[in-house]
Copies of this chain bind each other. A is one copy, B any other.
C-alpha cells in the first residue's frame, strides 16, 4: 500500500478530501466526508471518555480567535516561527529546514540556528524543488505561523487564530480555578480547532493548516500532588529515550509505567499519561508494532519543559508525532500572571496557620524626602525589596540600594528595619501543568493507515479497513440479496430496528452482493447482514476481515451485534457454534 492508495480510498469512501476542489483546492485544508466526520466524532468521544470522564476532568469550549495580548504573553508572537526561503526565480516558498532534512543526512534541522541553515543550503548546493534554481545565498527568514486577522472595524485590534487550544484554557485559569473552588489538582480539557499557517503543508491530513486538537491541561501542586500510578502501573511502554536516540545503535527500551517511574526514565506525571495514552491508542486500533514513545532531545525540549515525550506512529515509512506529553512546569500560568492584571495562582490554606518571621522596613520619610526629593518613594520601595531578599544588608551602619542605575546610601537607622513574627494561614502557589496534547487528524490518519489491508478473496484482490468496532463509522451494512420477493422490505425493517437500537447502519440494495461487500470492506464496516430467501427468520451475518459468514436467527441480531461490539463474543466463536450450512 502507498499513501496514495489510502488518500484515494479516503476520498472515494467519504473519509476526507482536499477542500474547495471546485476552485483548485487549497493546500493544507481538508474536509471530512460522511464517514470521516463520524469516525472523527467516535475518536473524539473515545478520547473524552478515556482522558476526561474516567480521570474526573472537566471540558470547556473557548473561541478560536484570540486577541494579541494573549500571544504576547504566551510567546507565540515572538517565537512561533518556521524558516522560510523563497525561490528568487519562481517565487515558491519552502521550509528551509525541510529542504536541509530532505537533501542531507541531517535530522531535526528545525532546531538549527537560521544562519547555519543558510550555510547548509549553500554548502550542499540545495535547489528549489519547484524550478531547480540554486538557493545558496538566498536569505532564510522567520515566518510567524499564526493566521492574523482584525477584530472589529479598523486594524487597531489584531487577533489571531489560536495555534493551540491550550491558550484558551490557560488564559481563563483564574475563572476555572474558581469552578474548582481553588482546590488543586484539577484538569480541564478542550477539543477544538487550531491553526498553523504552514509554509508547505504535507501528506494530506498529517500536516495541515487547520486541524483539531484534544488537549488536557492538568493543574497540580508541584510540592505535593502525585499521580495515582497504580491505575496504569502495569501498562507496557515502548520507549525511545533521548540517550538511545543519540547512540549509533540506539534501541527501544521496554518498561511498565511503574518501572519507568522507578528508574527515573520518565517524569512521574508524564509517565502516568503515557500509560493512559497507550491504553487509548490500542483501543482505537493503532498498531502497537508501528508505535513508540520518543523522548525529546535536549535541543528540541522547550526551555520550560522538564520532560517531554511524543507518541509517534509509523505511517508510509515515516514516524509522525500524534501526541505530545509535556511537563510544562508553571511556564504558561506565570507568563499570563506577569502580562495580565489577573492573579494566576491559587491560595493554598495550611492545615494549621504558620508563624513566620518577616523582615520589614518603615523608612523615615522626613529624612528620605529632603535627601532624595522625587526619588524618595523609589528608594523606600527598593529598601522594602532588599529587606525581603537580603536581611544581612541591614547589619551595618549604612544600606545601599540602586535607583535607576544610581547607588543611594541610607543610614540603617533611618530605614526602620525590623523583623516581625506574622501568622500566615496559607500561601499563593503557581500550579504546574501536565499536558497531553493530541492531534486528532493525525490519530485519524494513523488509524486509517494501520487499518488498511490488501488481500485476495476468491481470486479477486480487495482492499479493506480493519477498523476497530469502537470507532468504525458504520457498524453494520444491511442488504437484501435481491430487490424483490419481499427481501427488500425485510431488509429495510431490519435496518430500521438496528438503527433504533443505536447501531450505525447502512442500507444498500444496488449492485451485486459481492460488490456491496467490497464497498463496505473499503468503508471498514465490521459486519454485514444479508437477507435472502432461505428462510424468513434467519439472515447471513458476514465478518469483514475473515469474510466468513454464519447464519443466525433474525431476532437474535441486536443482541449478537451488541456482544460483538462490546467484545463479549467473537465472530469465530459464533461461527464455531453455528450449525453446518
Report which A residues bind B (CB closer than 8 A). 11, 14, 17, 19-24, 26-34, 36-38, 40, 53, 58-67, 69-70, 84, 86, 93, 143, 147-154, 157, 159, 161, 168, 171-172, 174-176, 179, 181, 188, 193, 195, 197-199, 209-210, 336, 339-342, 344, 499, 510
Contact = CB atoms under 8 A, between A and B. Distances in A.
A152 B22 contact: no
A172 B21 contact: yes
Nearest to A17: B175
Contacts of A20: 66-67, 69-70, 171-172
B86 A61 contact: no
A217 B356 CA distance: 68
Contacts of A34: 58-60, 179, 188
B150 A33 contact: no
This chain's copy number in the assembly: 2
B60 A37 contact: yes
B33 A179 contact: yes
Contact of A147 (B69, B149, B188, B341): B149
A58 B32 CA distance: 11
5 contacts: A14-B179, A20-B66, A84-B153, A147-B159, A148-B149
A187 B504 CA distance: 17
A154 B143 CA distance: 10
A24 B67 CA distance: 10
A31 B63 contact: yes
A165 to B, nearest CB: 12
Contacts of A336: 22
Contacts of A193: 64, 193
B63 A210 contact: yes
A14 to B, nearest CB: 5
A31 B62 contact: yes
Given A20-B70, A33-B60, A33-B175, 19 more contacts: A20-B171, A22-B336, A23-B67, A23-B340, A31-B60, A31-B172, A32-B62, A34-B59, A37-B61, A40-B61, A64-B193, A65-B147, A84-B153, A147-B149, A149-B161, A151-B209, A152-B197, A161-B161, A193-B193
Contacts of A195: 65
Contacts of A28: 151
Given A60-B33, A148-B149, A199-B153, A65 B210 contact: yes
A24 B64 CA distance: 17
B342 A22 contact: yes
A59 B473 CA distance: 11
Nearest to A211: B63
A152 B63 contact: no
B181 A23 contact: no
A203 to B, nearest CB: 17
Contacts of A53: 499
The 7 closest A-B pairs by CB, nearest first: A22-B342, A34-B58, A22-B340, A32-B61, A37-B61, A31-B62, A23-B69
A161 B499 CA distance: 36
A198 B152 CA distance: 6
A148 B37 CA distance: 26
Contacts of A499: 53
A58 B147 CA distance: 31
